[in-house]
Amino acid sequence: MSRFFSNKFSTLVPYTPGEQPKDVKYIKLNTNESPYPPSKKVLEAAGGEAERLQLYSDPECTLLHTSIANLYGVDKSEVLATNGSDEILNFAFMAFSDKDNPIVFPDITYGFYPVFAEINGIPYEKIPLKEDFSIDVNDYIGINKNIVIANPNAPTGKYMELCDIEKIVKSNPNNVVIIDEAYIDFGGESAIPLTKKYDNLIVTRTFSKSYSMAGSRLGFGVANKSLIADMNTIKYSTNPYNVNRMTQGAGVGAILDNDYYMQNCKEIIKAREYTKAALEGLGFDVLDSKANFVFAKSDKIGGEALYLALKARGILVRHFTSERIKEFNRITIGTMEQMEILIREIKSILEGVK
């Protein structure tokens, strides 16, 4: 770092994105992207907006907010579109947490949560997952602190039932609860309807996974309109034009083609169940997942060794170095053909391990 870098960031450990290699063509099963292309309506909508790039995008995201609101049965005043779900999460951290209002989250979860806390000077606590990597709802009941939970969780894929989410929200009425639903379309039940019942709940979503738009950077939050107004204060104080016009158009187009994307999710779920069963047939321990990935380990080969062996064969998965999960790899679910290739290569690798 330079001699000018502020001391307040001297201990900041930035989030590490998954590999995006440019040297070799890989089967990419490492960053939870969709294996399916965006629909024709998305391409047409984004292309149409590209013809007007000399003009600023709509800072109110009017058409996009209306489309999202109609899809989820809420009012457009209860929706805030952002540059990826990372931005709505950061807005929520900034708006509702500070030194007097700390935040808590699981010890094994999305790696950006501690980064958001650190960069915003927010005290935080990590609550350990249970031995089976599930969240113990009792750890969050009535703790009187702000809370963020990814559901399904990442990188485990574990899902918490909606009734337990409601217990947490209801028992902490004077604190904000953020439910990060980046992967909810792959088998879980959304907490968005609960935002009508509880004024302290924020649900965040992304178009990156189930809507094949990771490269467009589009996310959104749904919450009571007063919470949305608070986060809009942050938005308009930082970047009023946070969602570019091509991305806004693409988001509207994706919602118009919602059936196409939900069918893709069904195909991914089918491939996920195939992959889980095939890995278990090879002796792997595979956590139950409601996401577009599985989290798996083998007692025949270490996590890092498998990751490196697959990479050498042109397949990327995600390996983490944290002590408790270092023997696991997170494997994004691609097409059925890609998953069959993965299983074939893993079987070959294991046959070479003696």
Q: Exposure pattern of 98-120 as b/e (b: 16+ CB <10 Å)?
A: eeeebbbbbebbbbbbbbbbbbe
Which residue type is seen at 287?
L
- pLDDT in the model for residue 306: 98
pLDDT more than 90, % of the chain? 92
Tokens of 238: 């930082």
Averaged pLDDT, groups of 10, the chain, 354 residues long: 80 76 83 96 96 96 98 98 98 97 97 95 97 98 98 98 98 98 97 98 98 97 98 97 98 98 98 98 98 97 97 96 96 98 98 80
- pLDDT in the model for residue 354: 63
Question: What is the per-residue pLDDT across 105-114, written as a single tens digit (0 to 9) for each?
Answer: 999 999 999 9
User: How many residues are given for the chain?
Assistant: 354
Tokens of 89: 């999460």
DSSP 222-270: EE-HHHHHHHHHHHHHH-TT-S-HHHHHHHHHHHHTHHHHHHHHHHHHH
Tokens of 179: 């439910």
Give the sheet arrangement for strand 293-297, strand by strand. 285-286, 293-297, 328-332, 318-319
- pLDDT in the model for residue 21: 74
Helix (H, G, I), strand (E, B) or coil at 190: coil
Question: What is the per-residue pLDDT across 167-209, written as a single tens digit (0 to 9) for each?
Answer: 999 999 999 999 999 999 999 999 999 999 999 999 999 999 9
Tokens of 208: 């990156």
Pairing of strands 201-206, 219-223: antiparallel
- pLDDT in the model for residue 5: 79
- pLDDT in the model for residue 103: 98
Q: Exposure pattern of 44-61 as b/e (b: 16+ CB <10 Å)?
A: ebbeebeeeeeeebeeeb
Q: How far apart are CA 120 and CA 200, in angstroms?
A: 21
- pLDDT in the model for residue 12: 80
